[in-house]
Structure formats: C-alpha cells, structure tokens
Chains A and B, each alone.
Chain A
C-alpha cells in the first residue's frame, strides 16, 4: 500500500508539472517555488522505494514538505479562483496522497516507546482533520464553488476571527447558560428520580412510562411551549434541554442501579448493611458506567436541543438565533462559524465527560484495558 501511494504521488506530480494548472493556459512551472516543492515531495515520497533516508528524519521531511506544498497550492488557488484545470487537480491528489503516506509512515513509529505512541496517537487524527480541511479549501477555491453553497475554511476562519465578540456572546447565551444549566438540572433530576423510582417500586410502573412519553415529545413542539411558559430568554431553552436530558439519565441510572449481581448484594446483607450503605458502597459505583453513558449522550443532546430551541423565539443573541437569521441574509460564512464553534464546544464537552469517566470508572473492564 505505501509503495502504491508513493508512486501515485510521483505520477500525479509529473502530470501536474506538465499540464495546464489553471485556465486559460497557466502551468505550475510559472510558480517556481511550488514546482520545486512538489518535485521534492515526489522524491521524498518514493525514497523508501529508491532506498535512501529510510528513517524518521525522512518521514518528518515528507510531512513538512507536504504541508509546505499544500500551503503554496492554496495560495496559488487563491490567485486563480475557479480556474482550476487538470494539473491543479493532479497536484491536489498528490498532496492528499502525500499526507496519507505520511500518516502510514507515522503509524510505524508507534509502540517504539510510550511517548512516541502517545504523540502518534494524537497526531494521526489531527493530521487527518487537517488534510480534510486542506482538501476542502483546495476543492472549493479551485472549482470556485459559490460561497452560499460552501465557503472555504479560510473564509470561515476569517469570519470567526473578525466576529469574536458576537460569537462569544452567542456562546455565552447558548452554551454557558442554556446548555450547562439545562444539562445540570436535567441530569441531576433524572438521577434523583431514578433513585426514588428504584426505592419505591410502584413509581417505577408509574413514572417510567411517563418519562418515556415525555422523551418522545418532538422538540419542535415542546420548544414554542417552553418559550410561552418561561419567556424568550435562556430559561426556556434550558427547559427544553432539561426535557431532553432527563429521560436518558433516568433510564440509564435505573438500569445501573440494577447492575449489581445477587452475590454482591448478598455480601452486603451478610454485613447487615443498611439501604444507604449498600447504595453508596455498592450500587452507585456499579451504576457509574451507565450514568456516564447517559452523561455522554446528554452532552450532545443538550447542545442540539438548545440551538434548535432558539429557532422558536429568542432575544437577539444565541447560536441558534444567529444561525437562523444569518441563513436568511445569505451570510453563510457566519452560519459556518457558529457551526464550528458548536462543534468545538460539543466535542470539548463530550471529551471532558469522557475524561471524567475514565477517572471514575477506571476499574471497568472496558477501560482498564
């Protein structure tokens, strides 16, 4: 596979160098730095096959040159927006293949030592993400895709850096208020009711079906009602989030509390342990993997809920509000900027919960590895 990729890079570079890169008749040789960089890339790509620099310096050089080629290619595309021809696409393919090759080489360095494994494990998804962004940028600018359909990452980034105050205000309104408050209250209530339901069996038969019903309510029906009840500001969004996060927590905690096996409960009985001792020393620790499952599900549900709820009436701030109004004004880059913030915040939130999970349920077979 790496050999095939390496020769593919070479072939694409050759095609790119000797055919038209941009319409009407601009060859890549007119940008000498870029041409040089690509030749270097081709050579570094096949060096294993040609038998030199078979070491980590060579691998690293490949990565650096690929990054350099990508940035030069991006700036070239910026100068000839929408004029890309065969040569340009061949070079785009070459860059993409070079990154892939780089990742393949990196993977080999795994398990040399704990540190390199750590670094490689972090680097691979990062490089993957960066490659996707580069391809997105090259294709959108090269083919001249209209901004309304899909802006280039650089445009989104530009919009993000110039609208920091707006984005921050929206983030505060939607994430720091509606999402976090709703998440905390929804998960907290689900947890407490689960303990109650577990303690009082008749509630289980009564409350679980009602909880199920509530969770089945469509958010676009609930959100306007919550706005009527709790007003335009963030409390109504937090209420929507509470409704969305309550049930996953309830159900998961109820099954978690039932997860201890008969022998473990008998053990507590032989110690004449009371209800609360058994709850805190056995049943809650056993329930933790289930509870964290709910927390992870809810961390994404909460964000979706808060953003969508803002479509149904809100003061003039908030991520959902911004998305709905900027779409109407064809300011698609702002929409994408909000999406990027949401994706980043959502991933970080999820990651934080997952990290906490590792710390708390370190003993679980799925984690202790």
Chain B
C-alpha cells in the first residue's frame, strides 16, 4: 500500500522530471552487519536513470557496484533512503518482471540445453509453448547462437555461455537490463565483439541498460552515462554524461572525444581512491 505522502512524492517526482524515469534513487544507504562490524557498502546514493539510457557503474572492486545493482533488482534491501524502479518499489518491479538480470557468471543450468535454459524464465512466467518457442528462437538469433539450441552449457565456450545467459535475460522481454560485469571473465577480443553486439542490441530495442564494469574503455564505449563509484564507504564520486553519438563502433575508441571522457573517468577513479589515504 502506498501512503498519501508517497503518492504525493511520486507525483512531484513525475512532474519535476521527465515522465520516463526508470530508476530513481534518493539518499540510499546500505550497511551490511558482519561479524567484523558494519560494512558501509553504499552511502548516500542519489541517481536518476531515464528510459533508453545506457548507464555504467565503474569503480575499484569492493566499492559497491554489485550491491547497488542488486538493490535495484530487489536482491538486497537498503538500510536507508528510497528507491523506485518504473515508479514502484524494486520488489514490485521484480514481481512484475520489469528487468532482466545478467550475472557475472553465466549461471546456466547444466541439466538443461541452451534452448531450455533460455526457456527457464518463460516456463516460470507460464507462457504457452508456442510463445516460448518463438522467444527462444528470436533471442538465440539475437545473440548469434542459432544452431546451438540443443547443446548443453558445458559444451560451449565461456563467451557463448555468457551470450546464452544474455539471451535468457532478454527472453523475458524486459525494458530494463541489469548486467553485472557480464564480460569480466572473457578475453579482450571476445569482449570487444560482445560489446559491439550489445550496443547494436540496445540501439535496436531502446532498452534501458545498467551495466557494471571495472574496465574504463568498456564503460566509455558503451555508455551514455558513466557513474564513477569509490569505496569505503561506497559512494558516487562523479557522474559523466557522455556526448558520444549513440551510433558508434569500436573505432570510436581512437577519437579525442572518447579519450577525453576516458581521461575524466580515470581521474575520477584515482581521486576516489586517494581520498582515503
């Protein structure tokens, strides 16, 4: 149930900003209580993400990137502050199946074929067989895995497995895609290739993407907005709006505009780090 105050707050938000706000985070903090005392994973996070944005979280490991993404996905509960996803609580958004989440590892089920893995969320959603079949085919093609439907995950390379896990997230047909270092474990060449594919996909479908990485070129290449986080306590150090054209290919990495943004990210990371020393 929404209280009157919350509704008012929501209306105000809707009026003060564009109507297409996907994620709205206010003053959010999260402290883990551990045996070694509290860990301030997130502190005072303020962040707005609009529809169609490609947002990257970048920062050294342990700065709370994963935790922030998990809060958005309702896999972690904030200890203070507020957050809405599509205008509702993260829990409601999760129940509405508003997002697809791609984990750091492919997390495919080894007893299911690739097609059956992609079908997993569709079975849970209770879609009809024809609908499942149609979405499997479409998304397998989208990630260039057509022809591998009947293979088992352990028969595919790491890059193919990760693509399958992306197809699985896409099959839900969410408007919001949350990705936690999806290409972190892959080698540079495969990663470049997948980055390009991901960008094409995003341009084609106008999805909102939130993408965690610790690679500066990856963040700059993909994003319309780069959020630089720094650790202890995890907080936002800088938010960079990229003015690179939406339609880009890998060559853009040599341009001065690209290098300028990359430089600013690097400076942010450095400053955020030295803060504590």
Binding site for B on A (CB under 8 A): 263-264, 266-273, 277, 281-282, 285, 361-365, 368
CB distance from B95 to the nearest CB of A (A): 5
Residues of B within 8 A of A361 (CB): 111
B124 touches A277 (CB 8 A): yes
Q: Could you list 17 A-B pairs, sorted by A, with CB under 8 Å? A: A263-B103, A263-B105, A266-B70, A266-B75, A266-B103, A267-B101, A267-B107, A269-B75, A271-B97, A271-B172, A272-B94, A272-B124, A281-B120, A281-B123, A362-B111, A363-B152, A364-B110
Bin chain B's interface residue count: 20 to 34
**Cα-based distance from A363 to B110 in the complex (angstroms):** 6
Q: In whole angstroms, how far apart are the Cα atoms of A236 and B104 in the complex? A: 54
Which of A266, A268, A282 has the most C-beta atoms of chain B within 10 angstroms of its own C-beta? A266
Instruction: Check B121 for interface membership: any CB of A closer than 8 A.
Output: yes
- CB pair B111–A368 under 8 Å, yes or no, is no
Interface string of B198-242 (1 = CB under 8 A from A): 000000000000000000000000000000000000000000000
B152 to chain A, nearest CB (A): 6
Q: A268, A272, A285, A363 — which one has the most chain B CB atoms within 10 A of its CB?
A: A272
Q: Which residue of B lies closest to A273 (CB)?
A: B124
Interface hits, B95-148 → A, CB 8 Å:
95, 97, 99-101, 103-105, 107, 109-111, 120-121, 123-125
Interface contact B107-A271, CB-CB below 8 Å: no
In the assembled complex, the Cα of A271 lies from the Cα of B74 at a distance in Å of 11
Q: Is B73 an interface residue (CB 8 A)?
A: yes
Q: Is the CB of B124 within 8 A of A270?
A: no
Q: What 5 pairs between A and B have smallest CB-CB spacing? A: A363-B110, A363-B111, A270-B101, A271-B121, A271-B124
Chain B residues with CB below 8 A from A271, complex form: 97, 120-121, 124-125, 172
Q: Identify the closest chain B residue to A262 (Cβ).
A: B75
Report A136 CB to chain B, min CB distance, Å.
Answer: 45
Contacts of A267 in B (CB 8 A): 101, 103, 107
A208 to B64, CA, bound (A): 39
Bound form: Cα–Cα A273–B121 in Å = 8
Q: How far is the CB of A233 from chain B (nearest CB, A)?
A: 42
Complex interface: chain A residues within 8 A of B121 (CB)? 271
Given the complex of chains A and B, what is the CA–CA distance between A362 and B155 in angstroms? 13
Kindly identify which residue among A263, A285, A363, A364 contacts B107, using a CB–CB cutoff of 8 Å. Answer: A263
B107 and A264 form a contact (CB under 8 A)? yes
Q: How far is the CA of A277 from the CA of B122 in the complex (A)?
A: 12
Does B154 sit within 8 A of A, measured CB to CB?
yes
When C-beta atoms are compared, the residue in chain A nearest to B91 turns out to be A272
Contacts of A268 in B (CB 8 A): 124
List A contacts of B110 (CB < 8 A). Answer: 363-364
Beyond A264-B109, A363-B111, 13 additional contacts (C-beta under 8 Å) are: A263-B104, A263-B105, A266-B70, A266-B101, A267-B101, A268-B124, A269-B74, A270-B94, A271-B120, A271-B121, A273-B124, A361-B111, A362-B111
Contact A270 B120 (CB under 8 A): no
Which residues on the B side are within 8 Å of A270 (C-beta)? 73, 75, 94, 99-101
**Cross-chain contact A363 with B103 (CB below 8 angstroms):** no
Closest to B126 in A: A277
CA distance A363 to B108 in the complex (A): 12
- B124 contacts which of A263, A281, A285 (Cβ < 8 Å)? A281
Distance of B75 from chain A, by nearest CB (Å) = 5
Query: Measured between C-beta atoms, what is the minimum distance from A277 to chain B in Å?
Result: 5
Neighbouring B residues of A281 by C-beta, 8 Å: 109, 120, 123-124
Complex Cα distance A168/B100, Å?
Answer: 61
**Chain A, Cβ-Cβ closest to B96:** A272
Instruction: Specify the chain B residue showing the minimal Cβ separation from A282.
Output: B109
Point out the residues of chain A lying under 8 angstroms from B154, CB to CB: 363, 365, 368
Known: A277-B124, A363-B111. A272 touches B95 (CB 8 A): yes
Least distance between B54 CB and chain A CB atoms (Å): 20
Task: Tell me whether B97 and A285 are in contact (CB under 8 A).
Answer: no
| B104 neighbours in A (Cβ, 8 Å) | 263
Question: For residues 141 through 181 of chain B, which have their beta carbon under 8 Å from a beta carbon of chain A?
Answer: 152, 154, 172
Query: How far apart are the CA atoms of A272 and B100 in the complex, in Å?
Result: 11
B94 in contact with A285 (CB, 8 Å): no
Contact B109 A285 (CB under 8 A): yes
Nearest CB on B from A292, distance (A) = 13
How near does chain B come to A16, taking the closest CB pair, in angstroms? Answer: 56
Residues of A with C-beta under 8 A to B124: 268, 271-273, 277, 281
Residue of A nearest to B100 (CB): A270
**Bound-state Cα–Cα, A273 to B101, Å:** 14
Name the B residues within 8 Å of A264 (CB-CB): 107, 109
Q: Write out the residue numbers on chain B whose beta carbons fall within 8 Å of the beta carbon of A368.
A: 154
Chain A residue numbers with a CB within 8 Å of B101 are 266-267, 270
Cα of A268 to Cα of B73 in the assembled complex, Å: 12
Instruction: Give CA–CA (A266, B169) in the complex, Å.
Output: 13
Q: Which residues of B contact A362 (CB under 8 A)?
A: 111
Q: Which of A267, A281, A285, A361 has the largest count of B CB atoms less than 10 A from its CB?
A: A267
The residues of B that contact A277 with a CB separation of less than 8 Å are: 123-124
A361 to B110, CA, bound (A): 10
Nearest CB to that of A360 among chain B residues?
Answer: B111
Give the residues in chain B near A263, CB-CB below 8 Å. Answer: 103-105, 107
How many angstroms from the CA of A271 to the CA of B168 in the assembled complex?
11
Closest chain-B Cβ to A269's Cβ sits at a distance in Å of 6
**Nearest A residue to B165, CB-CB:** A267
* Bound Cα distance A277, B125 (Å): 10
User: How far is it, in angstroms, between the C-alpha of A269 and the C-alpha of B73 when the chains are bound?
Assistant: 9
**Minimum Cβ distance to chain A for residue B12 (Å):** 29
In the complex, what residues of B have CB within 8 A of residue A364's CB? 110
Complex CA distance for A277 and B123, rounded to whole angstroms: 9
A316 to chain B, nearest CB (A): 49
* Distance A264 CA – B105 CA, assembled complex (angstroms): 10
